Amino acid sequence: MSAVSDRPTMNSGADSLPGFLVPGEHVDARHPEVVAFAKAHTRGVGDEREAAVRLYYAVRDGIRYDAYLAGSSPEALRASEVLRAGRGWCVSKAVLLAACCRAVGIGARVGFADVRNHLSTARMREFMGTDVFYYHGYAQLRIESRWVKATPAFNIELCEKMGLLPLEFDGQNDSLYHPFDREGRQHMEYIRDHGVFDAVPIEAMVATWRRHYPQAGPDRDLAQAAAADATDFESEVDAEFGEK
């Protein structure tokens, strides 16, 4: 097994490293808070698979999922900002996981796909004008010389409230949305894959959102629309689903 570095890989000559290991504008793996978070959750770990698994659960459950942060400003998508906020959506949580992995020497990219979410809240569907989430985000991690997909989006409490099957991760198999929930209702459907990237393709994402989401016109993005809507996603889930 490959040993986990006890210091950020970026300190050892970033110019000579592949893109999936170096820090970026959003995957800011060199940021002190990201480094501290990554090291705190991998302390004492001897191999990169266990380190990746620990980081996955730290991001999945330590950062609350908030659907109304979709389309946030480029600054808010930075891993360090997501960590400070303590909440994020699928893209920002995937960015944070990728940054944490790079901080301890594990290769990481961000991947994107369009998914049809059959079990979002009624208000969320009304807000979006569709049940398709364009440019849903996940992380792709290089563990023991293999690329594995990891989706740290929904925290465990959200899954319990909505009756969803939580996404588990073992560092060896892809962790992708379940097609059905605990009761057999249709949940997530992957309809298009956009591939994986070393950096967040922010321009393509914003252009796609403005084309498909009616509330995000040419002069404002989804973050502005969500702020105007002023909806608390967790409270919304509590009201619609209650405790499962």
Give residue 225's pLDDT.
45
Per-residue three-class SS string for the chain: CCCCCCCCHHHHCHHHCCCCCCCCCCCCCCCHHHHHHHHHHHCCCCCHHHHHHHHHHHHHHHCEECHHHCCCCCHHHCHHHHHHHCEECHHHHHHHHHHHHHHCCCEEEEEEEEEEECCCCHHHHHHHCCCEEEEEEEEEEEECCEEEEECCCCCHHHHHHHCCCCCCCCCCCCCCCCCECCCCCECEEEEEEEEEECCCCHHHHHHHHHHHCCCCCCCCCHHHHHHHHCCCHHHHHHHHHCCC
If pLDDT is split at 50, 70 and 90, which confidence band does 3 have?
very low
Q: For residue 14, is pLDDT > 70?
A: no
Q: What is the pLDDT of residue 146?
A: 96
Of residues 228 and 117, the one with the higher pLDDT is 117
**Among 114-118, 210-214, 228-232, which range has the highest average pLDDT?**
114-118
pTM of the prediction? Answer: 0.87
pLDDT tens-digit map of 133-186: 999 999 999 999 999 999 999 999 999 999 999 999 999 999 999 999 999 999
Confidence of residue 53 (pLDDT cuts 50, 70, 90): very high
Please report the pLDDT score of residue 45 as a whole number: 92
pLDDT above 90 as % of the chain: 66
pLDDT of 25: 94
Average pLDDT of the chain, as a whole number: 85
pLDDT confidence of residue 73 = 74
pLDDT at 12 over 50: no
- Overall average pLDDT of the 17-38 stretch: 96
| 5 has a pLDDT exceeding 80 | no
Give pLDDT, residue 215: 67
Sorted by where each starts, the structural domains of the chain and their CATH numbers stand as 20-220 (3.10.620)
Residue 220 has pLDDT above 50, yes or no: no
Residue 193, pLDDT above cutoff 50? yes
Range of weakest confidence among 57-66, 87-96, 149-158, 231-240: 231-240
Is residue 54 very low, low, confident or very high in pLDDT (cuts 50, 70, 90)?
very high
pLDDT at 7: 35
The yes-or-no verdict on residue 127 having pLDDT over 60 is yes
At 125, the pLDDT band (50, 70, 90 cuts) reads: confident
